[in-house]
């Protein structure tokens, strides 16, 4: 049977399938004839497609496999819809799953390229690399007997990763050693959290969220609890900076969980689409982890999607001051639909709205306080004469000791402004509370 007949049969089958699909998602009884008319595929365009398909098969300068042609056609179906709908082949689907889960099979090391070699930035605590003795600053010179000099970093990372339980041989150059050090490491499942936390100065906490993975919500809650444990009764948390700059987004449930940790009641986000499952409303549960603590959220043009859900929810609830520059403006939700053979389709199925009903699609979140990224240069100061410089000055009888050294954030003006704003909230009596939560 020739390809033209096969494709026409496929088209007719798709018409039948699309009728059943429409009946199912609408949840309404329809007249069979009307349903068939609404979902009938355009036969003229289908014939044109099969003609083009056949012309390419027969006349293209190089032979192209039929399967590849059909796969290209699927790619084209999604390519023209919007920038975020896409066909995912086996490799793309694996990468997406890995990115969403934060888990991969590997050694547990952060690496970078240096002088044509692969440098270990740091081994992850508890990882196979850490347990076997890989150290920060080590240079990987061979992977499974293959020199890595001038090997592209992504290719080297692909070689370092692999299935749990598989072995990999590395040769390491370490400063101070007489020669290369051989290591055989058994790969394991590595979890790389996208959430990092620390104190910028006493009482001012900082949480960086690089993307929204499956465990980012629980990781955020754990980070806040960890910061709280590190404080003392006389020096509690006085402010929190949540850094969402250049966070491209990720999973909506993680964004909802993070916003819920700081919002006591009301809507966090809602979505609207053509099918019933795309219309959802996410509500906050009672309790605010940091009820009396002011919060600043940093955003910029690289903050997108789930980042904008968090920023929009906290802004609408007056729970945080949004600082930085306009966000990216991706106000749509994508659903990943597995095809059952290791491939999948990522399809835009809904738009999301902030609690007050704002759609930020192609607009973004406008910060409450605009702070563009800038380079700070202190003016040359003329030395000033002070009391302590005068000969014979009276000593200070206060026994107070200098406070702990503060983290140097002089190269990040937006982060500096966030800390200043938090101090201002404290001076003015804490975080302002909303008169009523958006419903």
**Choice among 327, 330, 332, 346 that is catalytic:** 330
β 369-370/146-147 pair status: unpaired
435 given a catalytic annotation: no
305 given a catalytic annotation: yes
Maximum distance among all alpha carbons in the chain?
107
Cα→Cα distances 152→112, 120, 141, 378, Å: 10, 15, 13, 40
**Choice among 303, 305, 307, 332 that is catalytic:** 305
> Helix, strand, coil % (nearest 5) of the chain?
35, 25, 45
Q: What is the rounded CA–CA span in Å between residue 102 and residue 391?
A: 62
Contact 134, 125 (CB under 8 A): no
End-to-end CA gap in the chain: 60
316 given a catalytic annotation: yes
Q: List CB contacts of 210: < 8 A, sequence separation 6 or more.
A: 194, 195, 196, 247
DSSP code for 258: H
Give the 3-state secondary structure of residue 70. helix
Residue 199 burial (CB count, 10 A): 16
Radius of gyration (C-alpha) of the chain in whole angstroms? 28
DSSP 139-201: EEEEETTEE-TT--HHHHHHHH---TT-EEEEEEE-TT-SS-EEEEEE-EEEE--SEEEEEEE
DSSP 84-124: T-EEE-HHHHHHHHHHHH-EEEE--EEEEEETTEEEEEEEP
Q: List CB contacts of 353: < 8 A, sequence separation 6 or more.
A: 269, 270, 271, 272, 331, 359
Contact 110, 88 (CB under 8 A): no
β 321-324/369-370 pair status: parallel
Cα→Cα distances 428→171, 205, 337, 424, 425, Å: 58, 19, 50, 6, 5
Helix runs in 170-304, H state only: 216-229, 252-260
**Choice among 39, 216, 316, 327 that is catalytic:** 316
Residues assigned a catalytic role: 305, 316, 330
């Amino acid at each position: 049977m020739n390809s033209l007949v096969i494709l026409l049969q496929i088209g007719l089958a798709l018409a039948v399938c699309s009728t059943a699909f429409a009946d199912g998602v609408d949840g309404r009884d329809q007249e069979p004839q009307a349903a068939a008319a609404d979902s009938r595929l355009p036969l003229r365009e289908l014939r044109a497609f099969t003609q083009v398909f056949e012309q390419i098969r027969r006349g293209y300068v190089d032979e192209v496999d039929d399967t590849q042609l059909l796969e290209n056609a699927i790619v084209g179906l999604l390519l023209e819809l919007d920038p975020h709908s896409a066909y995912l082949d086996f490799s793309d689907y694996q990468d997406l799953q890995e990115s969403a889960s934060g888990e991969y099979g590997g050694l547990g090391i952060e690496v970078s390229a240096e002088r044509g070699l692969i440098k270990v930035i740091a081994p992850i605590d508890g990882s196979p690399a850490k347990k076997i003795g890989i150290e920060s600053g080590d240079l990987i010179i061979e992977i499974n007997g293959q020199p890595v000099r001038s090997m592209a970093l992504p290719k080297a990372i692909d070689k370092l990763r692999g299935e749990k339980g598989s072995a990999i041989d590395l040769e390491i150059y370490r400063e101070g050693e007489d020669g290369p050090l051989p290591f055989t490491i058994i790969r394991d499942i590595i979890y790389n959290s996208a959430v990092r936390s620390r104190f910028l100065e006493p009482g001012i906490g900082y949480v960086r969220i690089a993307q929204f993975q499956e465990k980012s919500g629980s990781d955020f809650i754990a980070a806040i609890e960890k910061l709280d444990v590190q404080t003392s009764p006389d020096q509690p948390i006085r402010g929190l900076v949540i850094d969402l700059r250049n966070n491209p987004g990720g999973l909506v449930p993680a964004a909802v969980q993070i916003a819920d940790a700081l919002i006591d009641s009301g809507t966090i986000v809602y979505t609207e689409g053509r099918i019933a499952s795309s219309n959802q409303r996410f509500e906050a549960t009672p309790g605010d982890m940091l009820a009396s603590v002011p919060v600043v959220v940093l955003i910029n043009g690289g903050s997108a999607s789930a980042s904008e859900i968090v920023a929009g929810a906290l802004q609408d609830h007056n729970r945080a001051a949004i600082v930085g520059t306009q966000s990216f403006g991706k106000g749509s939700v994508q659903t990943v639909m597995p095809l059952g053979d290791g491939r999948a389709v990522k399809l835009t199925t809904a738009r999301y709205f902030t609690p007050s009903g704002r759609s930020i699609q192609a607009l973004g979140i406008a910060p409450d306080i605009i702070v563009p990224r800038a380079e700070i240069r202190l003016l040359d100061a003329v030395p000033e004469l002070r009391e302590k410089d005068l000969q014979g000055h009276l000593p200070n009888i206060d026994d107070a000791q200098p406070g702990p050294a503060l983290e140097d954030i002089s190269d990040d003006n937006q982060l500096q402004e966030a800390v200043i704003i938090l101090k201002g909230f404290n001076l003015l009596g804490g975080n302002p509370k909303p008169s009523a939560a958006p419903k």
